[in-house]
């Protein structure tokens, strides 16, 4: 097991900014890919194309010696992430980029609930209130009864749950293994898990679609790596507020490149959720407990 490095807040913020920029790039390229390719196949191709980035790590992977428990964590994370990534690709192609990013902020809330359920973390009253505030933020975004809540929005709710489980495991693995190994094992396990489903609904992709998915793989792999570096460099109380910038960039990209309307309720709901998640992270630091909740930027493919 690797010992955790000394906190480096400046580097943590920098890595988190780079992570957000890369993940906004991911959403843009998925949007450009369109809906002709089934969501599961698009997710599978993203991970297959991303395997090229693992070539420099093949030697380290071959020499890897780890415990059975760590292998179990890798496999469990791969299963959870496979479900999330398929739903995410489905939602991304059907609803505005800003909606996807804002609803991604719910992932740490599900992680907080998961940590209480599976890791027996105590949910104090303050944390319960923060969770309720975050769920209120989700209602502000969705506004059921005042706007159409389509299949894409419903998919994002379940995406957040799946990614929440994935990143609960990622935080544990980041303390046990190197960042490169955490990213590499995610790519391998998700590729294997998605393969049979993708082949069952296969549609031959065009060169343009392959190019867009290759760009997705490039930005997503880079984002996962810098995200893991952020996990290790600084506490969540430092990096969490930075994640709101991703929503700002997503709104700008949606308006400029995809003619998506500006929705102030999405910004307001995202801000409410980020504020609640930041409060939870702050309380973790105050109580000097190990923070299990990952940053909300971490909820991507």
Q: Decide if 77 contacts 170 (C-beta within 8 A).
A: yes
Using CB atoms within 10 Å of the CB of residue 273, give its burial: 0 to 12 exposed, 13 to 18 middle, 19+ buried. Answer: buried
- Its pTM stands at 0.73
**Does residue 203 register a pLDDT over 90?**
yes
Helix, strand, or coil (residue 147): strand
Helix, strand, or coil (residue 301): coil
pLDDT for 111: 77
Q: Which two tokens stand for residue 68?
A: 């059975």
Give the confidence band of 1 by pLDDT, cuts at 50, 70, 90: very low
How far apart CA 23 and CA 120 sit, in angstroms, is 32
pLDDT in tens, 31-62: 888 889 998 999 999 888 888 877 776 666 66
Q: What number of H helices and E strands is found in the chain?
A: 13, 0
Give the confidence band of 15 by pLDDT, cuts at 50, 70, 90: confident
pLDDT for 291: 47
pLDDT in tens, 135-187: 898 889 888 767 777 888 889 889 988 988 887 888 788 777 777 778 788 88
- Point out the least confidently predicted range of 132-136, 175-179, 190-194, 263-267: 175-179
How far apart CA 245 and CA 98 sit, in angstroms, is 12
144 secondary structure, DSSP code: B
How far apart CA 50 and CA 77 sit, in angstroms, is 17
What does the domain layout of the chain look like in residue ranges? 9-298
């Amino acid at each position: 097991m690797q010992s955790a490095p000394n906190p480096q807040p400046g580097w943590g913020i920098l890595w988190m900014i780079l992570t957000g920029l890369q993940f906004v790039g991911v959403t843009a390229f998925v949007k450009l890919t369109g809906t002709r390719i089934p969501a599961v196949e698009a997710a599978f191709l993203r991970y297959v194309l991303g395997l090229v980035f693992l070539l420099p790590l093949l030697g380290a992977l071959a020499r890897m010696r780890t415990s059975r428990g760590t292998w179990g964590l890798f496999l469990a994370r791969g299963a959870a992430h496979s479900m999330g990534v398929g739903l995410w690709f489905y939602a991304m192609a059907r609803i505005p980029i800003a909606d996807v990013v804002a609803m991604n902020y719910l992932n740490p809330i599900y992680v907080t609930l998961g940590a209480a359920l599976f890791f027996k973390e105590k949910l104090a009253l303050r944390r319960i209130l923060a969770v309720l505030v975050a769920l209120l933020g989700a209602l502000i975004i969705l506004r059921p009864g005042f706007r159409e809540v389509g299949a894409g929005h419903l998919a994002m709710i379940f995406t957040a749950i799946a990614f929440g489980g994935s990143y609960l495991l990622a935080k544990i693995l980041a303390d046990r293994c190197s960042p490169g190994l955490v990213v590499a094992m995610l790519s391998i396990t998700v590729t294997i898990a998605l393969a049979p489903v993708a082949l069952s609904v296969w549609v031959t992709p065009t060169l343009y679609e392959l190019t867009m998915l290759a760009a997705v793989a490039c930005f997503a792999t880079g984002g996962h790596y810098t995200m893991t570096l952020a996990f290790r460099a600084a506490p969540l109380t430092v990096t969490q507020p930075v994640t709101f910038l991703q929503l700002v960039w997503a709104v700008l990209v949606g308006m400029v490149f995809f003619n998506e309307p500006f929705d102030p309720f999405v910004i307001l709901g995202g801000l409410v959720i980020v504020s609640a998640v930041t409060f939870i992270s702050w309380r973790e630091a105050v109580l000097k407990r190990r923070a299990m909740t990952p940053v909300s930027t971490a909820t991507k493919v």
